[in-house]
Structure 1
Amino acid sequence: MTASALLFAMVVTACGSSTDAPSGATGGSADCTAAANSVVGAGRADVAPFLPSAPVDASKVKGKTVWLIQNSVTPLVTAVTKGMTAAGERVGVTVKAVSGEGSIPTIVSAVSQAVAQKADGIVLLAIAPTGVAAQVAEAKAAGIPVVDTYNSNVGTDMSAGGFFGHVSADYAAGGKMIAAWMMADSKCNLNAAILGNAALAPHKAQSDAAQTEFQTVCGGACKSDFETLDLPKLATSSGPQVQQVLRRNPDMKYVYSNLDGAVTFIAPAIQQAGNADVKVASMGGDTASLERIRSGNSVQKSVVAIAPQVYQGYAFMDQIMRGMTGAAAVDWTLPIRFVDSSNVGKSDADIFPRFSGVEASFAALWGVS
């Protein structure tokens, strides 16, 4: 078992197997395609940034240090870290970023070090709560607020696990959007591979929602196989893995990656194997994915983009500041948008135009310039 699989040892459900919907379903019908197109159309709509209504007194956190402990480093993680660091500079908070490198001992050690060195706050970036339960309990006992990100369902109360709060996107909604796009594009005659690690809560939420959508809307004409990615070895293993999947099933024309980071490796592998007719979708919305869609010559055709990474970093800082100042946690749900060639625009700024200048809105909320 890989380090990642050990760390994220949650409940892995039936999404690890092939899923065919009940017989007699409406796959290939006009009704099925229309229903899928309706979901995709709604997902394409522009979204507004969410900002809490309650302010935070940033003067109370000046000079403090927050540890941002990452599961591993990807382009998206790097961009979010940059956003959180910039937010910290606005309020006088030092952000100490530490990569767990996908390793249980490294991640556990990092959280323990943060507690031992009396961090003022800890933010866990894409680290499953069960893997660091003892260390989170230690932090709580030491009076250090801990914020979880990218895990659990939106609206989940995580206080029982020792967390102050969390920041997450609606991954199930994202999975539904991508499933709908694949059905609409295939006219509800679909054979798809879903790539991810079901022990990661965001991946499981996406894949479960996608497969439920297939069953409910498309039925037996839509099939999907879940393929587990080895996250610590993503750069070397995901490309050959997707090639094997497509060789094993030549009729498979859609690949859905639960994370953008894998597409960097699987897209060229698909094209190199001569599968240029395969279409790829993913979730995250990093710059590389948007550029692939914008180019028009990549197998990647769509993505569910989470709100801009700078905004995410500011959201992380907002939540941990509330924990450090004794304010109530916010039910932080990061907005998402379905993106394809119809709305990808000419630059990343076109994806979320209403987020332009959102940093100043946060600054006003925090009472700083």
Structure 2
Amino acid sequence: MNPGTARPATGAPRRHPGPRPGRFARCAAALLATVSVLAGCERGSARHVPGEPASGPSGCPAAYDTARTAVARAERTDVPWNGPTTGPPAVSGKSLVYVAQTMTNPGVAGALQGVRQAARVVGWNVRVIDGGGTPAGIQAAMGQAVALRPAGVVVAGFDPGTTSQQVARATALHIPLVGWHAVAAPGPSRRPPLFSNVTTHVRDVARVSARWIIADARGRAGAVVFTDDSIPFARTKSRLITAELATCRGVRVLAYENIPIPDASARTPRETAALMSRFGGRWTHSVAINDLYFADAAPAFRAAGAPGAGPPYNIGAGDGDPSAFQRINSRQYQSATVPEPLSQQGWQIVDEFNRAFSHAPASGYAAPVHVSTAENSHGAHTWEPTGYQEAYRKIWRR
């Protein structure tokens, strides 16, 4: 598909140009000639499978219908703000320390931008300490943050359980902690003790990303899952993704690639090249717990002569950073993302702290899941709910 070419609605028969010459083209031609059940090199096109109606989807009709409906709903862009509209006015003169799992994680970096924007509105100071993506680095960063005795500490992208001593010290000093993707569920957490955790519902993100593959492939796919099992949040997400893919008998998970995010830039190109050599045209789709895997995989795809528009067709189950949107909009080795509204979540982190400082309950808000593609992003490089800044300013009386 050439950039700028409109694609029919999800689930409708779609025609795509054949791959460029190279291994993918040869594999695709051979697989199409034998009507392989897993190859799907004409994306979304209806192919007759013996024993099934030529006009209907193959592989898993019921799961396909469910997936198509769910994806169409998630692709809507006219969703109004459904977050908090009331709360305490802003408390002035506070300081936050933002402890980052690693600033090379685009989601962590994107949420920080939102925190800084909101902090300027309420007149707070924000200091950043980068854990560097290693257990020792994160523990040291968390210890340094608590030693500064700020008004609050952001636990950004790592499991607080890995810094239990530092968390206990913060609790003893009555320093509230607010997480970003720190645990699996949004809202307050007792163990570990977080005033609130800011995230979308991981189950919803996992389901819709897997359903996008089922719908896009019309129930016939060979998928690769990229994850980081060292992060409990990511491990939960990837396991939910594989469980949802398993609801369609025509989708096979070819490989489950456990690559820690700090190692992604070094390992992903090598692993991608090996997977391409191993699976060839059977690899039709990919899903990753973070978009950055596809940035790192792109050189291997390109070197093998794989077309930028796919196959394989790649969807990120987070975080929706600007580079992911750039790949999607230019159709360069990523087809979709389930973006976190990173700026909104940064504003929400500030709002949760303000509630903690005011002895008010946490909002517990979780943004609805959304699927961004070249067709519905309209060239944007982020996705955010509409009206959130106005809502928070009204709450804070700012």
Supply the AA of the counterpart residue of 2:290: L
State how 1:288-303 maps to structure 2 within 5 Å. Answer: 288-296=323-331, 298-303=332-337
- The partner residue of 2:272 within 242, 247, 250 is 242
Instruction: Kindly provide the CA deviation profile for residues 90-127 of structure 1, in whole angstroms up to 9, marking residues without a partner as x.
Output: 11110111111102222112222222221110011101
SS in 2 for 1:198: coil
Q: Is the 8 A contact 1:306 1:335 kept in 2?
A: no
Aligned twin of 1:15: none
- The partner residue of 1:319 within 341, 348, 352 is 352
Separation in structure 2 between the aligned mates of residue 89 and residue 231 of structure 1, nearest angstrom: 30
State the structure with more CA Rg: 2
Matched, 1:168 2:199: yes
Higher helix content, 1 or 2: 1
Q: State the Cα distance separating 1:165 from its structure 2 match.
A: 1.7
Aligned twin of 2:27: none
Q: State the Cα distance separating 1:224 from its structure 2 match.
A: 4.2
Instruction: Kindly provide the CA deviation profile for residues 307-335 of structure 1, in whole angstroms up to 9, marking residues without a partner as x.
Output: 2x221210111112222222212213133
Q: Is the 8 A contact 1:255 1:281 kept in 2?
A: yes
Aligned twin of 2:124: 93
- The partner residue of 2:394 within 351, 364, 369 is 364
State how 1:113-128 maps to structure 2 within 5 Å. Answer: 113-128=144-159
Matched, 1:230 2:263: no
State how 1:1-369 maps to structure 2 within 5 Å. Answer: 28-46=59-77, 47-58=79-90, 60=91, 62-73=92-103, 74-155=105-186, 157-216=188-247, 218-219=248-249, 221-250=251-280, 251-276=282-307, 277-282=311-316, 283-296=318-331, 298-307=332-341, 309-348=342-381, 351-352=383-384, 354-355=385-386, 358-368=388-398
Q: State the Cα distance separating 1:53 from its structure 2 match.
A: 4.0
SS in 2 for 1:348: coil
Supply the AA of the counterpart residue of 2:376: N
Q: State the Cα distance separating 1:29 from its structure 2 match.
A: 4.2
Per mean C-alpha deviation after superposition, the further-off stretch among 271-280 and 183-192 is: 271-280
Separation in structure 2 between the aligned mates of residue 337 and residue 162 of structure 1, nearest angstrom: 29
Separation in structure 1 between the aligned mates of residue 147 and residue 352 of structure 2, nearest angstrom: 22
SS in 1 for 2:119: helix
Supply the AA of the counterpart residue of 2:270: P
SS in 2 for 1:90: helix
Q: Is the 8 A contact 1:254 1:280 kept in 2?
A: yes
Q: State the Cα distance separating 1:184 from its structure 2 match.
A: 1.8
Supply the AA of the counterpart residue of 1:52: P
Q: State the Cα distance separating 1:305 from its structure 2 match.
A: 1.4
Q: Is the 8 A contact 1:49 1:335 kept in 2?
A: no
SS in 2 for 1:148: strand
SS in 1 for 2:366: strand
SS in 1 for 2:370: strand
Q: Is the 8 A contact 1:194 1:226 kept in 2?
A: yes
Instruction: Kindly provide the CA deviation profile for residues 199-228 of structure 1, in whole angstroms up to 9, marking residues without a partner as x.
Output: 323322322222222222x12643342111
Q: Which runs of 4+ in 1 moved over 6 A?
A: none
Separation in structure 1 between the aligned mates of residue 260 and residue 365 of structure 2, nearest angstrom: 29
Q: Is the 8 A contact 2:222 2:284 kept in 1?
A: yes
Supply the AA of the counterpart residue of 1:175: A
RMSD over aligned Cα atoms = 2.1
TM-score, structure 2 length as denominator?
Answer: 0.79
Q: State the Cα distance separating 1:144 from its structure 2 match.
A: 0.5
* Structure 1: gaps spanning 5 or more residues: 1-25
